[in-house]
Amino acid sequence: MTLFEPIHVGTYQLQHRVVHAPLTRLRNTEETNIPTDLVVEYYSQRATPGGLIIGEGSAISNKAGGYSRGPGLFTEDQLEGWRKVTQAVHEKGGVIFSQMWHGSRAGSSLFIKDNQLPIAPSPIPITSSKNFMVNEPYEAPHEASHNDIKDLVQQYVEAAKNAITAGFDGVAIHGANGYLIQQFIASSSNKRTDDYGGTISNQAVTNAIGPERTGIRFSPWADEMSYETYSYILEHLNPKLAYVHFVEPHDDALREVPDLVNPLDPFRKIWQDRPFISAGGYSTQPELMADVAKNTGNLIAVGRAYLANPDLVERLKYGWPLNKYE
């Protein structure tokens, strides 16, 4: 396999395996969270024929605790803003999925309807750092009741439907980076002893828009890592999902020494020959892109290098040098 061999993802035939990773850009309107013309330009610049873009995390509702200038998927004005984005990507022949996001305890009451406390599996605040959105300690979240969890599932369902209405080709469930889904997975943030002492099922979303238009993203090394836990999750996911997306700990913006010890291979083995997206470290070690694609058949998600190189796919294809990310 090579980076430039076609691959079938969901209902789409991609022409290459370089994926635009979801990246928080904060170029939307401040109070109404509507994508602006800058957002349209950004995605249009990076769209390629038969290439997959995974959009930035978009709040699933006004209860999700989104960022200032972060986009949403819950008002008609927001959806109209996204329609301009998806149309621009489709005009370039690209495919674009919307990443559905809920901040949970990583959010802030300042960005939640009626300034309610963030909701989480357990009432445990993040204590390892300050909330960078407001430069204050994280709030102790409200523990979700059973009715709250049912409401959360419905918020995902409505956001998924809204994404399709806005022209997205599918949705990516954000199950990574310490946000809501990962908080249900991690024992450090989920101390529940009821039926929700584990992850929320993605079945509701796949029922709403179809598994072939649904992907999911995990970052096992963002919290306590357990091959057993994530293997169990993979084994119980809908096998018809468009893809699964795992962040590998090769390198990231905060890692001083690359982690070359902990591979994604056990997860790749479970998912077999279905579409599997690898991410992590490819901007600082671009030579890994071709090697991993060749050895695994994976799609490769790239973030920082895509910021600095809107024409990244063409540069990789022809061996042209990359602009350095700063």
Kindly report, residue by residue over 141-170, the tens digit of the pLDDT: 999 999 999 999 999 999 999 999 999 999
Per-residue pLDDT at 326 exceeds 80: no
Specify whether the CB–CB gap between 170 and 215 falls below 8 A. yes
Per-residue pLDDT at 258 exceeds 60: no
Using 50, 70 and 90 to split pLDDT, how confident is the model at 260? low
Q: Which pLDDT tens digit goes with each residue over 33-46?
A: 999 999 999 999 99
Given the residues 179, 230, 282, 306, the one annotated as active site: 179
DSSP structural state of residue 34 = -
pTM for the model stands at: 0.94
Cα 299 to the center of its chain, rounded Å: 15
Using 50, 70 and 90 to split pLDDT, how confident is the model at 257? low
Which of 3-12, 93-102, 132-141, 206-215 has the weakest average pLDDT? 132-141
* pLDDT score recorded for residue 245: 98
Percent of the chain residues past pLDDT 70, beyond the cut: 94
Q: Report the C-alpha dihedral over residues 196, 197, 203, 204, rounded to 10 degrees.
A: 30
Per-residue pLDDT at 221 exceeds 60: yes
Helix (H/G/I), strand (E/B), else coil: 263 = coil
Helix (H/G/I), strand (E/B), else coil: 227 = helix
* pLDDT score recorded for residue 281: 85
3-state secondary structure 39-107: HHHHHHHHCCCCCEEEEEEEECCCCCCCCCCCCECCCHHHHHHHHHHHHHHHHCCCEEEEEEECCHHHC
* pLDDT score recorded for residue 197: 80
Please, what is the end-to-end C-alpha distance for the chain in angstroms? 31
Per-residue pLDDT at 1 exceeds 90: no
Q: Which pLDDT tens digit goes with each residue over 307-319?
A: 999 999 999 999 9
Per-residue pLDDT at 223 exceeds 80: no
Residue bearing the bigger pLDDT, 284 or 97: 97
Could you give the residue ranges of the DSSP H alpha helices within the chain?
37-46, 76-91, 146-165, 180-185, 203-209, 227-236, 265-271, 287-296, 304-308, 312-318
131 vs 178: CA distance, rounded Å: 13
Contacts of 210 (CB under 8 A, 6+ apart): none
216 vs 210: CA distance, rounded Å: 13
Percent of the chain residues past pLDDT 90, beyond the cut: 77
* C-alpha neighbours within 13 Å on the C-beta side of residue 82: 29
- Annotated catalytic residue 243: no
Residue 304: is it exposed, middle or buried by C-beta count within 10 angstroms (0-12/13-18/19+)? middle
Residue bearing the bigger pLDDT, 255 or 280: 280
Contacts of 139 (CB under 8 A, 6+ apart): 105, 108, 109, 117, 118, 125, 131
| Mean pLDDT computed over every residue of the chain | 92
